[in-house]
Amino acid sequence: MEPAPDGALSPAAVVDEIVVEARAREAAPDFPREAIEAVRAATSWMAAEATPGDVRQAAQLVVHQAGVAVEPQLWSPGPLRRLVKQVVHRLIGWYVRVLAQQVKTLGEATARLGLAVAERTERLQSEAAADRVAVSSRLDGLSDRLARLEALVGDGDGAGEGRAGNGPAAGDAATSGPR
């Protein structure tokens, strides 16, 4: 591993070392595969990822993951473990409860913000699409009108009327407004 300039290990080097060590332990014959697979299956919901660029899906993921349990589970298989959990819960439970409630509230607010951003983005995209259709329609109409005017000017070119401003094209352009 390469040390960082200040003597500490770089985060990438630490991650690489952890990955190598994890693979080596997983390849060992005494590795508890069944237990690890059960843990992975139970926690797989936490690894959900949103499709890149999908704001609504990302906000829904925050909604799902913001559900922090304010009260921990105190049940344990052994009476000693249960007693230890109850004692620790009584000693620091009030503080953890407040912290968990704050984290949960922050997650819910973030989710509401994400959903509002997604809704607004979708509405703006819909309006932009409608505007593009309207502008395209208007542009087609103007192109048709220009073609008619050019045809009128082209008909008068032989006598020179269109260039002097006396022909129908000049009058049409001067009196016609937006259609």
Per cent of the chain over pLDDT 90 is: 26
Q: Is-above-0.85 flag for pTM?
A: no
Burial label, 140 (beta-carbon count in 10 A; 0-12, 13-18, 19+): exposed
* Cα–Cα dist 2/128, whole Å: 51
**Phi, psi (deg, nearest 5) at residue 145:** -65, -40
Average pLDDT of the segment spanning 169-175: 48
What does the alpha-carbon distance between residue 34 and residue 40 come to, in Å, rounded to a whole number? 10
Give backbone dihedrals phi and psi of 102, rounded to 5 degrees, phi first. -65, -40
Q: Is 9 helix (H, G, I), strand (E, B) or coil?
A: strand
The Cα-based distances of 27 to 18, 43, 138 in angstroms read: 14, 22, 68
Q: What is the pLDDT of residue 96?
A: 82
Separation CA 74–CA 85 (nearest Å): 6
- With contact defined as beta carbons under 8 Å apart, do 72 and 86 qualify? no
**pLDDT per residue as tens digits for the range 103-140:** 888 888 988 898 899 899 999 999 999 999 999 999 99
Average pLDDT, the chain: 80
Is residue 164 very low, low, confident or very high in pLDDT (cuts 50, 70, 90)?
very low
Whether residue 72 contacts residue 108, with contact meaning beta carbons closer than 8 Å, is answered with no
> What pLDDT shows up at residue 45?
67
Smallest CA-to-CA distance from 66 within 25, 99, 108, 3 is with: 108
Q: What is the pLDDT of residues 64-73, one digit of tens each?
A: 777 767 677 7
